[in-house]
Structure formats: C-alpha cells, structure tokens
Amino acid sequence: MVIEFFLPMDKIPTVTHQEKKVNFKTKSFYEDFDLKEARSRYISLLGKHTPHAPLEGPIRLQTKWIFFRNVPKVQWKTTKPDTDNLIKLFKDCMTHCRFWKDDAQVASEITEKFSSPIRNHTGIWVHIETLDAI
C-alpha cells in the first residue's frame, strides 16, 4: 500500500520534540505553547490523509521538508532544524492520527530538507509505503 500527499504550510514549525520543558517542582516534563501549537497543527493537517485502518507491518516513510527562503533556486537546506529533530514530532503526530500502530514500524526512513524561493511550495511532502518481507 502507498499513501502520498503534500501538506502545504505558510511556515513549517521549527520547534522540535527536544524542546520540552522541565518543571523542577514536580520533576515532570511538559510542552510549551509553541510545541503544543506545532503538534496541534500537524495533527489537524495529517487527519485529512489518515488511512481507514492503521498500516501493518514494516513501513518506509519518506518526507521532504520545503522551507521558503530567499534563494535563487531550490537547494538543499543545511541549517537548523536538524532532520532528526523535525521528524520525531511529526512521526509522533502520525502515530496519534493512526497511520500505523507504533512508529517502531517505520523500518526505513528518508528525511530531506530544502530551501525554495517559491512561497507556495512551502510544506511537507509525505510518501508512506508498506514493505514486503525480505
């Protein structure tokens, strides 16, 4: 099975899953406003593409993160945020939306980030496919 879609966004959230805060009184972690907002935004956009039933078995997830920047042409983005930080929150939101039962099912992952001079190209391209047994 293959699922493919594009999530257009005016601006991709750059807050990362690692930016949880610590309450030293209760010794617990919590999400600040920006992280909660990013999570809510992803869940809202992803919900429109959720499969009827969670995918089963091994999965390949490919994402292309396209940020608007004043550059002459589309090019690799080599500045923050790091791809591993971007993808963690996004995968958690995909799990919440029931694309799969557990993000541990993602056995193959390709995450790329680009800068684009075209404002309406800003967003995240997502390609998900189930993998056959080896």
Is the pTM higher than 0.75? The answer reads yes
Question: Residues near 66 by Cβ (< 8 Å), separated by ≥ 6?
Answer: 12, 74, 113, 114, 115, 116, 121, 122, 123, 124, 125
Compute the distance between CA of residue 5 and CA of residue 40 in angstroms, rounded to an integer.
19
* Residues in the chain where the model's pLDDT stays below 70: 17-31
For 106-124, what is each residue's pLDDT tens digit? 999 999 999 999 998 999 9
DSSP lists the bridge partners of residue 75 as 115
Tell me the domain boundaries of the chain. 2-130
CA distance linking residue 122 with residue 92, whole number of Å: 21
Q: What fold is seen in the domain 2-130?
A: 60s Ribosomal Protein L30; Chain: A; (3.30.1330)
